[in-house]
Structure formats: C-alpha cells, structure tokens
Amino acid sequence: MARTETLTRGTAAERLLRHARYEVLPTKTIEEKVLAAVPKDVALTVTASPAKGIEQTVDLAERFAGHGYSVVPHLSARLIRDGAHLADLVARCTAAGITAVFVPAGDADPPAGEYDAALPALAELSRMGSPFATVGITGYPESHPSIDDDVTVQAMWDKRSHATEIVSNLCFDAAAIAGWVKRVRRRGVALPIQVGIAGPVEATKLLTMATKVGVGESTRFLTKHAGWFARLANPGYTPERLLNRLAKEVGDPEWGLAGLHVFTFNQVAETEAWRRRLLGEG
C-alpha cells in the first residue's frame, strides 16, 4: 500500500476517524481478535448472512456487549421469519443492553419468512414502540448490483421515518461518495450518515475471508464485489487518502457525516493500528 497520509488536527477527517466503528463477521476467532486489539471506546457492528444465520450475529453481539463494547447487530430483514422472531431478537438485544441496530434487506434468497425487504421490518420495529435509540438503514453511493438506482433512492426516502441514521455501502471513490451525499441532502433526507470505507485490508486476506462465509455466500460475494480486489490492490488507493478527500468535499457539518463505518473483514488488529497511527497515538 501507499505510504500512510497524515491527518491535520482538528479537521473533519480526524473527527470522522475518532467516530469510527468496526464491522466484523461472526467467525470462530473474531471475539478473541477483537478483545486483543480493539479498545472498548470503538463501537462494533456484527454482520448477518444466510450462511451464518442471524442467530450467530445476535449471539456474538450479546457477547461483545457483555465485554463492554457498544455493539450494533445487523438485523437483516430477509433472515427474519416473522414478527415473533423479530420480537425475540429485539428482546435478546435489549436484555443485553444493546441500543442500536442496523437493518438492511440482506441477501437471503428466498427470504426466510415474511420480510422481503428492510422497510416491513423497520415498520414492525416502529409498531413495537421503537425499542432501539439508533436504527441504521443502507445507502448506496454506487449502484447496487441488482437494484436500480431510482429504487434504492426511493427506498431510502420511504425508510427515513423509521430510522435515525444512514450507513453507506462500501465505496472506494471519494468523489462518488461526496456526490451521493449531496444528492441525499438535495432529496431532503437529513439523517446523519455513517460513511462506509474499507480499512487497510490486503486483497489476499480479503479473498481468504470471502471463502470463510460459505461456498454459496463466497460465490455471491465474489460476483458482487469483483472490483473490490482490483481497487484494494491498486497502489493509488489508501483509506486515509479517501478519508482526506472526502472530508475536503463534504466534511463541513452541514453535510451531516457522523463517522466512519469501517469494513475490517476481521483484520481488526491491522485496522486499529492504522487508526491509532493516523491519530498520532502510536
């Protein structure tokens, strides 16, 4: 990778980095890796996939909460069977002291039950009395691999009343992210945005992680995100360079960027070392 760029103190880039949270996949070794490398003031998000199932997501989220982390489980709508299943997941999360969730549609095909998209699950959470203080929905700076752009934009508009923040999908292009942020604001959506970026991930390790999510999942992963590997291997890409350029374009408070959603692909030690290095903390 290219040489690490620095961050000027007091800038929007530094603020975003200090409000970074790490996305992890529920594998057998990730709990130990997080405990060894990630301080308790860094929030964690836990993914859900058809191969792993949503129960493993909530199991790991409960354990992280027990260790003292702020944790955001992914309640993927297409993995939830029905309202009773959702109520059980909510009860488990709230009992563990979890106050934030992220509700994407998810990739399960066919859906496990009655929720074929995020909006019905979000509406059900609202009917349950909005049990979580923070509810995230997905945003797409670049085109979704299987959904038209106008559909994703309309969906975000429809979901805004049930959510408190937007979490953008992974993107390697600062100009694309900045342009999308501006379109979201022109649309009248004022929710805070967590910007999705890749941490300092090596392409070879990303490929290894892709194979760990299951054969079918791995195929979908590689099909949907084939361009990731080329861009990660490109010496012109570094997460800090993207961060600096993004902060320059839409870092002013008026654009409402709340922090970073860092895709670690379970390389949490490397990601935390990178963050501390940029912040000048060793």
Q: Could you tell me if residue 1 is inside a domain?
A: no
Q: Could you tell me if residue 175 is inside a domain?
A: yes
Residue 69 maps to which CATH number? Answer: 3.20.20.220
**By residue range, what is the domain housing residue 84?**
12-278
Q: Could you tell me if residue 152 is inside a domain?
A: yes
Report how far residue 247's alpha carbon sits from residue 6's, in angstroms, rounded to the nearest whole number.
13
Residue 224, number of CB atoms within 10 A of its CB: 13
Instruction: Please write the tens of the pLDDT for every residue from 212-258.
Output: 544 344 445 545 555 555 565 555 568 898 999 999 999 999 999 99
Average of pLDDT values for 141-156?
A: 63
Give me the number of domains the chain comprises.
Answer: 1
Q: Could you tell me if residue 36 is inside a domain?
A: yes
Q: Could you tell me if residue 261 is inside a domain?
A: yes
Instruction: Please write the tens of the pLDDT for every residue from 163-199.
Output: 999 999 888 889 999 999 998 998 889 999 999 998 8
Cα–Cα distances (Å) from 79 to 125, 156, 170, 202, 272, in that order, read 15, 20, 21, 30, 30
Q: Could you tell me if residue 2 is inside a domain?
A: no
